[in-house]
């Protein structure tokens, strides 16, 4: 089957990398993601990845504990680099050529983010992992995913989750009456305050007509199913949203 999307941004939360242990990096989860990404590369799909850091550090949590918000956010950006390097190492054990590009320069471990270079890597079949957020405090990795998707002209953002299989009207773990949405507009997300992405990321996706698909990472092969066009999870946005 031909893939529906030719160039994607895969957004992984830090919690997704932690698996059931809830913190740190679960090698089994990372290897599963790497094997699925390898399948996409073999299909000719161009893959960029943005990784969060909730498994290591959350800037917002540090701020709530009394830390300076900018310092707390910079710590979170550095934590995303740890996750990115772990994913890079796993991908390369599968024979996938990979580049990590960081918004905060650290040339000994990664390339600085340069848009044209990132696009060239993608054209050559390399996976590009965008680390260190946008390089600015007060912006989430969700916003990073939206920004990078717009910059590299990605067809879609795939948001892989480890604790939910789509977008619900309420937390399904706390509310048995919560309803799962098959499709949503970005205006619906903003109006109803749904916890899909933060409002900055949501607005950026809406303004640039970038669709978002929220799905579960726990089921092996789900990334490939989404790329092939199978309707799983929740589709958010698009040209008419």
Q: How many domains does the chain have?
A: 1
Q: Extract the annotated binding site.
A: 11-14, 54, 58, 73, 134-141, 162, 168, 171
Q: For 215, phi and psi rounded to 5 degrees?
A: -150, 170
**Tokens encoding 86:** 């772990």
> Would you tell me how many other CB atoms lie within 10 Å of the CB of residue 26?
18
Considering the domain boundaries, does residue 241 fall inside one? no
CB-CB contact of 129 with 10 (8 Å): no
Band (195; pLDDT cuts 50, 70, 90): confident
Can you say which residues are annotated as belonging to the binding site for ATP?
11-14, 54, 58, 162, 168, 171
Q: pTM of the prediction? A: 0.94
Is residue 239 situated within a structural domain?
no
More confident residue, 183 or 60: 183
Indicate the SS3 state at residue 10: strand
Question: For 85-140, how does the pLDDT look when each residue is reduced to its tens digit (9 = 90+)?
Answer: 999 999 999 999 999 999 999 999 999 999 999 999 999 999 999 999 999 999 99
Query: What tokens does 153 get?
Result: 């002209």
Within-domain flag for 58: yes
Range of the domain at 71: 5-234
Residue 28 within any structural domain of the chain: yes
Mean pLDDT calculated for residue range 200-210: 95
Binding residues for UMP: 73, 134-141
| Domain presence at residue 9 | yes
Q: Is 85 among the domain residues? A: yes
Q: Is residue 123 part of a domain?
A: yes
Residue 102 sits in a domain of what CATH number? 3.40.1160.10
Which H or E run contains 103?
A: none
Residue for token pair 């799983």: 232
Paired with 159 in beta bridges are 11, 214
pLDDT of residue 238: 60
């Amino acid at each position: 089957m031909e893939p529906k999307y030719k160039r994607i941004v895969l957004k992984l939360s830090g919690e997704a990398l932690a698996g059931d242990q809830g913190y740190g990096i679960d090698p089994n989860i990372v290897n599963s993601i790497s094997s699925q990404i390898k399948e996409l590369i073999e299909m000719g799909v161009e893959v960029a990845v943005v990784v969060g850091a909730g498994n290591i550090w959350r800037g917002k949590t540090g701020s709530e504990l009394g830390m300076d918000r900018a310092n707390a956010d910079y710590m979170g950006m550095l934590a995303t680099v740890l996750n990115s390097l772990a994913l890079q190492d796993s991908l390369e054990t599968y024979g996938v050529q990979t580049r990590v590009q960081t918004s905060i320069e650290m040339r000994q471990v990664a390339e600085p983010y340069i848009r044209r270079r990132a696009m060239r890597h993608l054209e050559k079949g390399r996976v590009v992992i965008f680390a260190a957020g946008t390089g600015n405090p007060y912006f989430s990795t969700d916003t990073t995913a939206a920004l990078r998707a717009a910059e590299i002209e990605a067809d879609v953002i795939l948001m892989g989750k480890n604790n939910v299989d789509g977008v619900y009207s309420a937390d399904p773990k706390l509310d048995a009456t919560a309803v799962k949405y098959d499709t949503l507009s970005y205006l619906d997300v903003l109006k109803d305050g749904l916890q899909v992405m933060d409002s900055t990321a949501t607005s950026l996706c809406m303004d640039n007509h970038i669709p978002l698909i929220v799905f579960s990472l726990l089921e092996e092969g789900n990334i490939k199913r989404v790329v092939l066009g199978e309707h799983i999870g929740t589709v958010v946005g698009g040209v008419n949203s």
